Structure 1
Amino acid sequence: MFAVFEKYLLNKADFTPLEIERIRAATVVQTLPKRHYLVKAGEVWPYQAFVASGCLRTYTVDEKGAEHILHFAVENWWAGDQESLTTGQPTRYNIDAIEESTILLFKKEELARLRQEIPALDGLINATLHRSFLASQNRLHAAISFSAEEKYREFVAKFPAFAQRIPQHMVAAYLGMTTETLSRVRRKTSLHG
């Protein structure tokens, strides 16, 4: 599975064979069966995680038992809790596998060392964190400004494969609406093209 990550790295920046080998040596591969947790709320998250295959979701569960999904991560995406990783405090999020998934894990200290030693890796991670911040900002704007129909249209436009791949109740939880509202929006959207 490291080959998937190596391809990702080489598509993003220039790495020498020695740098790739050093990154490979720091990689821990974990297979996560469907519905199994990568991390549970209350645990400390000590990794950066790269999804080599499969699909993960990051979510919370409120006092009424309702799930609130913050993030999906599919192949070639990163997953984890930056706050827990940075502060060492327990995460408030659950991250589990929607599909059987293979994850490449990098311990915080190992990755920090690699970032110091390999400028291309440091630049790639900084760019990834920047894009993640912008995506979070855009998602927050959509959550407070868009109608249910606009949220769904934007979701399908940005992530067309997700609409088919991810169960509808999870899409609804991600968009901040009930499954019934999502069904109504999908019907309305399909009627109006």
Structure 2
Amino acid sequence: MIEALFLNISRHISSSPADIKQFCDLFSFQQIHKKEFLLRKGEVCKFEAFVTKGLFKVYHIDAKGTEQILYFGMEDWWITDIDSFMNQEPSRLFIEAIEDSEIWLISKKDKDFAYEHYPIVEKLFRIMTQKTHTALQRRVIDNMSKTAEQRYWEFMEKYPSLGQRLTNIQIAAYLGISHEFLSKIRRKAARPRPNS
């Protein structure tokens, strides 16, 4: 629903409802089926998308053919390949629906138009970019300083509903560990603790 997009923007910036609605009017609605791709490696990303229903994974495949998930996009989250979108160069990423989903898309042409005509848009995306950069920096530091087990439990604590919607293979691909190693972590947690 467009209302969800309106509310998301309203949480990031203070502006008149009319200005926010004008910006929202530049988005188009799309339904995406499970396992359908929004973007494939080699394509130029022509959109930024706001998810109102469903779940996506944004990933690349390394030289060994292993899927490495950068992030997930669920309800009230934004998804794109920012490098490909901003520079209009072929993407190195895939964006695939994990569930039947609904999104609101804005094209680069319409976003550039919004930057020129609606001052709120530049502020909105500056704030969103800062938040994304902060989250990415924290993730890099966590990957360098925390064990896979610590990262797994922090992920499950931070995103409990998301953890229930993903397979172990998907979670492992996000954490950068093997499915077998994740299974060991989960088995260890399921073991009864000895009485003290």
Gap change, CA 1:98 and 1:183, over 3 Å in 2: same
The match for 1:147 is 147
Q: Does the 8 A contact of 2:37 with 2:95 survive in 1?
A: yes
The match for 1:95 is 95
* 1:192 to partner: Cα distance: 7.9
The match for 1:54 is 54
The match for 2:85 is 85
Q: Which moved more, 1:71-80 or 1:60-69?
A: 60-69
Q: Does the 8 A contact of 1:41 with 1:90 survive in 2?
A: yes
Q: Does the 8 A contact of 1:40 with 1:93 survive in 2?
A: yes
1:21-40 to 2 correspondences below 5 Å: 21-40=21-40
- Equivalent residue of 1:164, what SS? helix
The match for 1:45 is 45
Report the Cα distance in structure 2 between the residues aligned to 1:117 and 1:58, rounded to whole angstroms: 31
Q: Does the 8 A contact of 1:49 with 1:78 survive in 2?
A: yes
Gap change, CA 1:192 and 1:160, over 3 Å in 2: farther
Gap change, CA 1:26 and 1:38, over 3 Å in 2: same
Q: Which moved more, 1:19-28 or 1:173-182?
A: 19-28
Report the Cα distance in structure 2 between the residues aligned to 1:158 and 1:19, rounded to whole angstroms: 33
Gap change, CA 1:83 and 1:183, over 3 Å in 2: same
Gap change, CA 1:128 and 1:189, over 3 Å in 2: farther
Q: Which residue identity lines up with residue 127 of structure 1 in the other structure?
A: I
Number of residue pairs aligned between Structure 1 and Structure 2: 193
Report the Cα distance in structure 2 between the residues aligned to 1:190 and 1:135, rounded to whole angstroms: 30
Q: Does the 8 A contact of 2:6 with 2:21 survive in 1?
A: no
* 1:166 to partner: Cα distance: 1.1
Report the Cα distance in structure 2 between the residues aligned to 1:137 and 1:122, rounded to whole angstroms: 22
Measured on the aligned residues, the alpha-carbon RMSD in Å equals 1.8
The match for 1:177 is 177
* 1:15 to partner: Cα distance: 3.2
Structure 1 or 2, whichever has the larger Rg, is 2
Q: Does the 8 A contact of 2:151 with 2:175 survive in 1?
A: yes
Q: Which residue identity lines up with residue 143 of structure 2 in the other structure?
A: A
- Equivalent residue of 2:38, what SS? strand
User: Percent identity at matched positions?
Assistant: 32
The match for 1:160 is 160
Q: Which residue identity lines up with residue 158 of structure 1 in the other structure?
A: K
Q: Does the 8 A contact of 1:9 with 1:15 survive in 2?
A: no
| Structure 2 unaligned blocks of 5 or more | none
Q: Deviations over 1:143-176 (max 9, x none)?
A: 2222111111221122122211111110000001
1:67-146 to 2 correspondences below 5 Å: 67-146=67-146
> Normalised by the size of structure 2, how large is the TM-score?
0.91
- Equivalent residue of 2:14, what SS? coil
Gap change, CA 1:24 and 1:67, over 3 Å in 2: same
| Structure 1 unaligned blocks of 5 or more | none
